[in-house]
Structure 1
Protein backbone atom coordinates (compact mmCIF):
# COMPACT_ATOMS: atom_id res chain seq x y z
CA UNK A 1 0.00 0.00 0.00
CA UNK A 2 1.30 3.45 -0.92
CA UNK A 3 1.78 5.88 1.91
CA UNK A 4 -0.05 9.02 0.73
CA UNK A 5 1.48 11.17 3.45
CA UNK A 6 4.96 10.30 2.20
CA UNK A 7 4.01 11.30 -1.36
CA UNK A 8 2.44 14.51 -0.09
CA UNK A 9 5.59 15.32 1.90
CA UNK A 10 7.83 14.77 -1.13
CA UNK A 11 5.62 16.95 -3.30
CA UNK A 12 5.55 19.71 -0.68
CA UNK A 13 9.34 19.66 -0.39
CA UNK A 14 9.73 19.77 -4.16
CA UNK A 15 7.21 22.61 -4.46
CA UNK A 16 8.94 24.54 -1.67
CA UNK A 17 12.35 24.08 -3.33
CA UNK A 18 11.00 25.20 -6.71
CA UNK A 19 9.41 28.31 -5.20
CA UNK A 20 12.61 29.19 -3.32
CA UNK A 21 14.64 28.69 -6.51
CA UNK A 22 12.23 30.89 -8.45
CA UNK A 23 12.32 33.66 -5.85
CA UNK A 24 16.13 33.63 -5.60
CA UNK A 25 16.46 33.80 -9.40
CA UNK A 26 14.14 36.81 -9.50
CA UNK A 27 16.11 38.51 -6.71
CA UNK A 28 19.38 37.79 -8.52
CA UNK A 29 18.07 39.45 -11.67
CA UNK A 30 16.87 42.43 -9.64
CA UNK A 31 20.32 42.71 -8.04
CA UNK A 32 21.98 42.55 -11.48
CA UNK A 33 19.76 45.39 -12.67
CA UNK A 34 20.53 47.36 -9.51
CA UNK A 35 24.27 46.81 -10.01
CA UNK A 36 24.12 47.96 -13.61
CA UNK A 37 22.05 51.03 -12.83
CA UNK A 38 24.35 51.84 -9.90
CA UNK A 39 27.46 51.68 -12.07
CA UNK A 40 25.79 53.85 -14.71
CA UNK A 41 24.80 56.30 -11.97
CA UNK A 42 28.40 56.46 -10.71
CA UNK A 43 29.69 57.09 -14.21
CA UNK A 44 27.18 59.91 -14.67
CA UNK A 45 28.19 61.38 -11.30
CA UNK A 46 31.86 61.33 -12.30
CA UNK A 47 30.98 62.97 -15.62
CA UNK A 48 28.94 65.64 -13.80
CA UNK A 49 31.75 66.33 -11.34
CA UNK A 50 34.31 66.63 -14.13
CA UNK A 51 32.12 69.13 -15.95
CA UNK A 52 31.08 70.92 -12.74
CA UNK A 53 27.32 70.31 -12.86
CA UNK A 54 26.92 68.23 -9.68
CA UNK A 55 26.95 69.76 -6.23
CA UNK A 56 27.32 66.50 -4.21
CA UNK A 57 30.89 65.84 -5.16
CA UNK A 58 33.27 63.27 -3.83
CA UNK A 59 31.16 62.17 -0.85
CA UNK A 60 28.30 61.19 -3.10
CA UNK A 61 30.59 59.07 -5.28
CA UNK A 62 32.09 57.35 -2.22
CA UNK A 63 28.61 56.60 -0.93
CA UNK A 64 27.53 55.26 -4.34
CA UNK A 65 30.60 53.03 -4.65
CA UNK A 66 30.02 51.60 -1.17
CA UNK A 67 26.39 50.96 -2.13
CA UNK A 68 27.63 48.98 -5.14
CA UNK A 69 29.84 46.91 -2.83
CA UNK A 70 26.81 46.20 -0.62
CA UNK A 71 24.88 45.02 -3.68
CA UNK A 72 27.81 42.81 -4.72
CA UNK A 73 27.87 41.20 -1.27
CA UNK A 74 24.12 40.63 -1.40
CA UNK A 75 24.57 39.10 -4.85
CA UNK A 76 27.26 36.76 -3.47
CA UNK A 77 24.96 35.83 -0.59
CA UNK A 78 22.12 34.84 -2.92
CA UNK A 79 24.45 32.94 -5.27
CA UNK A 80 25.88 31.05 -2.31
CA UNK A 81 22.38 30.32 -1.01
CA UNK A 82 21.35 28.96 -4.41
CA UNK A 83 24.39 26.69 -4.59
CA UNK A 84 24.62 25.47 -0.98
CA UNK A 85 21.12 26.17 0.38
CA UNK A 86 22.56 28.01 3.37
CA UNK A 87 23.37 31.60 4.19
CA UNK A 88 26.94 32.15 5.33
CA UNK A 89 27.43 34.58 8.16
CA UNK A 90 30.57 35.93 6.49
CA UNK A 91 28.67 37.42 3.54
CA UNK A 92 25.94 38.89 5.72
CA UNK A 93 28.51 40.38 8.11
CA UNK A 94 30.51 41.83 5.21
CA UNK A 95 27.39 43.42 3.72
CA UNK A 96 26.40 44.89 7.09
CA UNK A 97 29.90 46.28 7.66
CA UNK A 98 29.75 47.90 4.23
CA UNK A 99 26.32 49.39 5.00
CA UNK A 100 27.66 50.93 8.22
CA UNK A 101 30.76 52.21 6.41
CA UNK A 102 28.51 53.74 3.74
CA UNK A 103 26.47 55.53 6.39
CA UNK A 104 29.64 56.80 8.06
CA UNK A 105 31.02 58.06 4.75
CA UNK A 106 27.76 59.77 3.84
CA UNK A 107 27.49 61.32 7.30
CA UNK A 108 31.08 62.52 7.40
CA UNK A 109 30.75 64.32 4.08
CA UNK A 110 27.36 65.77 5.05
CA UNK A 111 28.68 66.65 8.55
CA UNK A 112 25.49 65.50 10.22
CA UNK A 113 26.68 63.18 13.02
CA UNK A 114 26.59 63.75 16.75
CA UNK A 115 28.87 61.85 19.10
CA UNK A 116 26.19 59.36 20.24
CA UNK A 117 25.56 58.23 16.68
CA UNK A 118 29.27 57.89 15.94
CA UNK A 119 29.72 55.93 19.19
CA UNK A 120 26.84 53.64 18.22
CA UNK A 121 28.22 53.00 14.76
CA UNK A 122 31.69 52.41 16.18
CA UNK A 123 30.30 49.85 18.63
CA UNK A 124 28.37 48.17 15.84
CA UNK A 125 31.50 48.00 13.66
CA UNK A 126 33.50 46.55 16.57
CA UNK A 127 30.91 43.83 17.20
CA UNK A 128 30.60 43.03 13.49
CA UNK A 129 34.39 42.87 13.20
CA UNK A 130 34.56 40.44 16.12
CA UNK A 131 31.82 38.28 14.60
CA UNK A 132 33.63 38.31 11.23
CA UNK A 133 36.98 37.40 12.82
CA UNK A 134 35.41 34.58 14.86
CA UNK A 135 33.68 33.23 11.76
CA UNK A 136 36.97 33.15 9.86
CA UNK A 137 38.89 31.63 12.80
CA UNK A 138 36.19 29.06 13.65
CA UNK A 139 34.31 28.21 10.43
CA UNK A 140 31.22 26.01 10.73
CA UNK A 141 31.79 22.33 10.17
CA UNK A 142 30.55 21.00 6.82
CA UNK A 143 27.97 18.29 7.07
Structure 2
Protein backbone atom coordinates (compact mmCIF):
# COMPACT_ATOMS: atom_id res chain seq x y z
CA UNK A 1 0.00 0.00 0.00
CA UNK A 2 2.73 2.48 0.96
CA UNK A 3 4.94 1.15 -1.84
CA UNK A 4 2.20 1.87 -4.40
CA UNK A 5 1.78 5.43 -3.09
CA UNK A 6 5.55 6.08 -3.15
CA UNK A 7 5.79 4.57 -6.62
CA UNK A 8 2.98 6.83 -7.86
CA UNK A 9 4.67 9.94 -6.40
CA UNK A 10 7.97 8.88 -7.98
CA UNK A 11 6.35 8.46 -11.41
CA UNK A 12 4.68 11.87 -11.15
CA UNK A 13 7.97 13.48 -10.14
CA UNK A 14 9.77 11.85 -13.08
CA UNK A 15 7.06 13.05 -15.49
CA UNK A 16 7.34 16.58 -14.10
CA UNK A 17 11.14 16.53 -14.39
CA UNK A 18 10.98 15.31 -18.00
CA UNK A 19 8.31 17.88 -18.89
CA UNK A 20 10.48 20.67 -17.51
CA UNK A 21 13.49 19.27 -19.37
CA UNK A 22 11.57 19.17 -22.66
CA UNK A 23 10.36 22.74 -22.16
CA UNK A 24 13.91 23.93 -21.43
CA UNK A 25 15.23 22.08 -24.51
CA UNK A 26 12.50 23.57 -26.73
CA UNK A 27 13.25 27.07 -25.43
CA UNK A 28 16.95 26.44 -26.07
CA UNK A 29 16.10 25.22 -29.57
CA UNK A 30 14.18 28.41 -30.36
CA UNK A 31 16.98 30.56 -28.95
CA UNK A 32 19.49 28.58 -31.03
CA UNK A 33 17.43 28.98 -34.19
CA UNK A 34 17.03 32.72 -33.56
CA UNK A 35 20.77 33.17 -32.90
CA UNK A 36 21.69 31.12 -35.97
CA UNK A 37 19.45 33.22 -38.18
CA UNK A 38 20.63 36.48 -36.62
CA UNK A 39 24.29 35.48 -36.99
CA UNK A 40 23.89 34.57 -40.64
CA UNK A 41 25.20 38.03 -41.44
CA UNK A 42 28.52 37.11 -39.79
CA UNK A 43 29.22 34.84 -42.72
CA UNK A 44 29.60 37.97 -44.85
CA UNK A 45 30.98 40.44 -42.30
CA UNK A 46 33.70 38.35 -40.59
CA UNK A 47 37.31 39.04 -41.50
CA UNK A 48 37.32 35.77 -43.40
CA UNK A 49 34.44 33.80 -44.75
CA UNK A 50 35.86 30.72 -43.03
CA UNK A 51 35.29 32.18 -39.52
CA UNK A 52 31.68 33.09 -40.27
CA UNK A 53 31.04 29.77 -41.94
CA UNK A 54 32.57 27.92 -38.98
CA UNK A 55 30.17 29.68 -36.59
CA UNK A 56 27.22 28.87 -38.85
CA UNK A 57 28.16 25.18 -39.07
CA UNK A 58 28.74 25.01 -35.30
CA UNK A 59 25.31 26.48 -34.59
CA UNK A 60 23.49 24.23 -37.07
CA UNK A 61 25.21 21.08 -35.77
CA UNK A 62 24.37 22.06 -32.19
CA UNK A 63 20.72 22.49 -33.19
CA UNK A 64 20.70 18.98 -34.65
CA UNK A 65 22.01 17.55 -31.37
CA UNK A 66 19.32 19.44 -29.41
CA UNK A 67 16.63 18.16 -31.82
CA UNK A 68 17.82 14.60 -31.24
CA UNK A 69 17.72 15.11 -27.46
CA UNK A 70 14.17 16.42 -27.65
CA UNK A 71 13.20 13.41 -29.74
CA UNK A 72 14.75 11.08 -27.12
CA UNK A 73 12.78 12.69 -24.29
CA UNK A 74 9.51 12.66 -26.22
CA UNK A 75 10.11 9.02 -27.14
CA UNK A 76 10.50 8.30 -23.42
CA UNK A 77 6.98 9.60 -22.81
CA UNK A 78 5.54 7.53 -25.64
CA UNK A 79 7.16 4.23 -24.57
CA UNK A 80 7.83 4.81 -20.85
CA UNK A 81 11.45 3.75 -21.40
CA UNK A 82 14.58 4.92 -23.13
CA UNK A 83 15.34 3.10 -26.34
CA UNK A 84 18.97 2.32 -27.07
CA UNK A 85 18.61 3.07 -30.77
CA UNK A 86 17.37 6.62 -30.05
CA UNK A 87 20.19 7.23 -27.57
CA UNK A 88 22.72 5.94 -30.10
CA UNK A 89 21.33 8.39 -32.68
CA UNK A 90 21.83 11.24 -30.21
CA UNK A 91 25.39 10.04 -29.57
CA UNK A 92 26.10 9.73 -33.31
CA UNK A 93 24.85 13.28 -33.92
CA UNK A 94 27.01 14.57 -31.06
CA UNK A 95 30.15 12.71 -32.21
CA UNK A 96 29.70 13.89 -35.80
CA UNK A 97 29.29 17.45 -34.49
CA UNK A 98 32.52 17.22 -32.51
CA UNK A 99 34.33 15.64 -35.47
CA UNK A 100 33.19 18.43 -37.78
CA UNK A 101 34.26 21.11 -35.29
CA UNK A 102 37.75 19.59 -34.95
CA UNK A 103 37.91 19.27 -38.73
CA UNK A 104 37.05 22.94 -39.25
CA UNK A 105 39.64 23.99 -36.67
CA UNK A 106 42.29 22.05 -38.55
CA UNK A 107 43.36 20.12 -35.46
CA UNK A 108 43.15 16.67 -37.02
CA UNK A 109 45.93 14.63 -38.60
CA UNK A 110 45.42 11.69 -40.92
CA UNK A 111 45.30 9.13 -38.10
CA UNK A 112 42.90 11.31 -36.08
CA UNK A 113 40.50 11.37 -39.01
CA UNK A 114 40.82 7.59 -39.29
CA UNK A 115 40.05 7.04 -35.59
CA UNK A 116 37.13 9.50 -35.58
CA UNK A 117 35.73 7.83 -38.71
CA UNK A 118 36.20 4.39 -37.18
CA UNK A 119 34.35 5.54 -34.04
CA UNK A 120 31.47 6.96 -36.07
CA UNK A 121 31.20 3.80 -38.19
CA UNK A 122 31.26 1.71 -34.99
CA UNK A 123 28.40 3.74 -33.52
CA UNK A 124 26.44 3.37 -36.75
CA UNK A 125 27.09 -0.39 -36.61
CA UNK A 126 25.85 -0.47 -33.00
CA UNK A 127 22.75 1.44 -34.13
CA UNK A 128 22.14 -1.14 -36.87
CA UNK A 129 22.52 -4.00 -34.38
CA UNK A 130 20.14 -2.30 -31.94
CA UNK A 131 17.56 -2.11 -34.72
CA UNK A 132 17.53 -5.90 -35.07
CA UNK A 133 17.28 -6.48 -31.31
CA UNK A 134 14.55 -3.94 -30.66
CA UNK A 135 11.84 -5.02 -28.24
CA UNK A 136 8.52 -5.84 -29.92
CA UNK A 137 5.88 -3.13 -29.81
CA UNK A 138 3.18 -3.61 -27.26
Question: Are 1:76 and 2:71 counterparts?
Answer: yes
Task: State the alpha-carbon separation in 2 of the partners of residues 33 and 54 from structure 1.
Answer: 31
8 A contact 1:100–1:125 mirrored in 2: yes
The correspondence for 1:59, drawn from 43, 54, 59, is: 54
1:27 and 2:21 aligned? yes
Distance, in Å, in 2 between the alignment partners of 1:84 and 1:136 is 16
Task: Give the aligned length.
Answer: 136
In 2, Cα distance between equivalents of 1:83 and 1:137: 20
2:137 to 119, 139, 142: 142
State which structure, 1 or 2, has the greater radius of gyration over its C-alpha atoms: 1
Q: List alignment gaps of at least 5 residues for structure 1.
A: 1-6
Unaligned ranges ≥5, structure 2:
none
Per-residue CA distance 1:41-65 (angstroms, 9 max, x = gap)? 1112212223x14752212211211
In structure 2, C-alpha distance between the alignment counterparts of 1:83 and 1:140, rounded to whole Å: 14
Aligned-residue CA RMSD (Å):
1.7
1:87 aligned onto 2:87: no
Q: CA deviation at 1:88?
A: 1.2
Q: 1:102 matched to which residue of 2?
A: 97
Which TM-score applies when normalising by structure 2? 0.88
